[in-house]
Amino acid sequence: MLRIKDLHAGYGDVPVLWGVDLEVERGDIACLVGSNGAGKTTLLRVLSGLLASSSGSIVFEGQNLAGAEPERVLAAGIAHVPEGRRLFSAMSVRDNLLMGAYLRRDGAVAIGRDLERMYGLFPILRERQAQDAGTLSGGEQQMCAVARGLMSAPRMLIIDELSLGLAPAVVDQLCDALRRLNQDGLTLLVVEQDVATALELAQRAFVLDTGRVTHSGSSKSLRNDPAIREAYLGAI
């Protein structure tokens, strides 16, 4: 579904990604883990068209998206939930969700149906739908951000730092929602600094270290890898 090959990118003269290779199959939940500064957010920014790569290829469902604008990436079927949520704080929850559907051309009935689906997935958003998004709790804002991404009807959802700053109970709720979405056919790529949470959620995992993918495989295999356990899971 997604094939990233020999991807290089950075900011000005500062390289961040060095020949990244990564593949995500249709129907997977994949996670990308690594320490601060490893290049995880940069990779998602390149993938979603927010940052240009200097070389390499990004192929999604047969389309070459290297260098594509964000609107083209979204139209191709990839939605990005950015770190920090980036909601429109002075707009209502409902209007934030509808903003996620701005490129859709399948009509008000289909969009309304998906809006109801989001309220079913995150019932608190129905209760808060008239409330300004900026007044929500951190967990509610993350639910709103995920739901806004889903309102574009993507085939792949990429999420940057799912659990950052959230209570464990909220993280569990979000992970349960993502599993249900995956069971319905959605492919997910999740960047997560909490490696234990990421490996519990995902079926496949990639470790990014100083701009390179250094380990990849099933979540179970990485969880049992002594080097990964020592570096990221606190085991020696």
Same domain for 1 and 70? yes
Q: Is 99 left (phi over 0), alpha (psi -120 to 50) or beta?
A: alpha
Decide: 190 and 202 in contact? Cβ < 8 Å.
Answer: yes
CATH of the domain at 46: 3.40.50.300
- pLDDT tens for 73-109 read 999 999 999 987 789 899 999 999 999 998 888 889 9
The pLDDT, as a whole number, for residue 234 is 67
pLDDT at residue 138 greater than cutoff 90: yes
> Distance of alpha carbon 112 from its chain centroid, rounded?
23
Burial environment of residue 90 by CB neighbours within 10 A (0 to 12, 13 to 18, 19 or more)? exposed
The pLDDT, as a whole number, for residue 236 is 38
Same domain for 70 and 2? yes
- pLDDT tens for 144-177 read 999 999 999 999 999 999 988 889 999 999 999 9
Same domain for 65 and 159? yes
Same domain for 121 and 8? no
Same domain for 160 and 231? yes
Among 127, 153, 179, the domain-final residue is 153
Q: What is the pTM of this model?
A: 0.91
Among 153, 173, 191, the domain-final residue is 153
Could you list the residue range(s) of the whole structural domain that residue 97 is in? 89-153
What's the mean pLDDT when you consider all of the chain?
93
Lookup: tokens for 121: 């997935």
180 domain residue, yes or no: yes
Same domain for 97 and 39? no
pLDDT at residue 219 greater than cutoff 90: yes
The pLDDT, as a whole number, for residue 231 is 80
82 domain residue, yes or no: no
Where in the chain does DSSP place strands (E)? Answer: 2-11, 14-24, 29-33, 55-60, 63-64, 78-81, 156-160, 187-191, 204-209, 212-218
Same domain for 58 and 163? yes
Same domain for 228 and 167? yes
213 domain residue, yes or no: yes
- pLDDT tens for 20-64 read 999 999 999 999 998 888 899 999 999 999 999 999 999 999 999
Among 99, 133, 153, the domain-final residue is 153
Look at 14-18, 24-28, 29-33, 191-195 and tell me which has the smallest mean pLDDT.
191-195
Same domain for 126 and 64? no
198 domain residue, yes or no: yes
84 domain residue, yes or no: no
Number of independent structural domains in the chain: 2
